[in-house]
């Protein structure tokens, strides 16, 4: 409409209207970004970190980052989201829910979160999974091959004090009855 008004109205009035329209657009964008950040923080407080997909803290914060990466307060909100995702990974790891722990860590990495704690949880998860795989890799006795058989050598003292034949199979109570 402003382009159409170019030839009809005065140039000063059209330019003034364009500036007012641009200011209103910037104001609306800023309010929208503020609302998106506010909703993202609400979802953090509600512990709705990644679910539901289009109404979670992750959704609002990453959408805002795509629109205005330098928005005030966004970086701290994403840090909070990342630390909560890693805390969930730690809880899952403690419960030996390794797939869930891996998913939480993947989500933290997807939002760009890195920390010493996330690295530690990642290392602990890798060690736990490796240990689980090690214990799951049991070899059946039938699959083993005897390489060498060795007859045990007993010390001389226990050999001499061994009970005489016939007595070893009778319990001490039975001996008392005889």
Task: List Cα–Cα distances, 77 to 43, 69, 112, in angstroms.
Answer: 11, 12, 12
Extents of the domains making up the chain: 2-150
Distance, C-alpha 42 to centroid of its chain: 21
pLDDT score, position 143? 85
DSSP 3-state helix, strand, coil percentages of the chain (rounded to 5)? 65, 0, 35
Does position 16 have pLDDT exceeding 80, yes or no? no
Tens of pLDDT, residues 99-123 = 999 999 999 999 999 999 999 999 9
pLDDT of residue 86: 97
pTM of the entire structure?
0.67
Greater pLDDT, 130 or 29: 130
Given this model, what pLDDT does residue 140 score? Answer: 82
- Provide the 3-class DSSP secondary structure of residue 129: helix
Residue with tokens 């699959």: 143
% of the chain beyond a pLDDT of 90: 54
CA-closest candidate to residue 108, choices 138, 136, 78: 78
pLDDT tens digits along 154-165: 887 766 666 655
pLDDT for residue 83: 97
């Amino acid at each position: 409409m402003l382009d159409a008004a170019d030839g009809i109205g005065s140039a000063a009035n059209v330019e003034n209207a364009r500036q007012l329209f641009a200011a209103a657009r910037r104001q609306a964008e800023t309010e929208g970004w503020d609302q998106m950040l506010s909703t993202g923080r609400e979802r953090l407080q509600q512990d709705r970190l990644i679910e539901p997909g289009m109404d979670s803290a992750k959704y609002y914060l990453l959408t805002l980052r795509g629109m205005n990466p330098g928005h005030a307060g966004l970086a701290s909100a994403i840090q909070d989201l990342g630390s909560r995702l890693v805390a969930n990974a730690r809880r899952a790891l403690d419960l030996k829910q390794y797939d869930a722990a891996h998913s939480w860590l993947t989500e933290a990495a997807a939002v760009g979160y890195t920390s010493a704690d996330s690295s530690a949880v990642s290392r602990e998860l890798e060690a736990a999974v490796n240990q689980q795989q090690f214990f799951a890799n049991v070899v059946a006795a039938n699959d083993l091959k005897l390489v060498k058989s060795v007859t045990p050598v007993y010390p001389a003292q226990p050999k001499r004090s061994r009970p005489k034949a016939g007595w070893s199979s009778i319990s001490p109570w039975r001996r008392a009855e005889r």
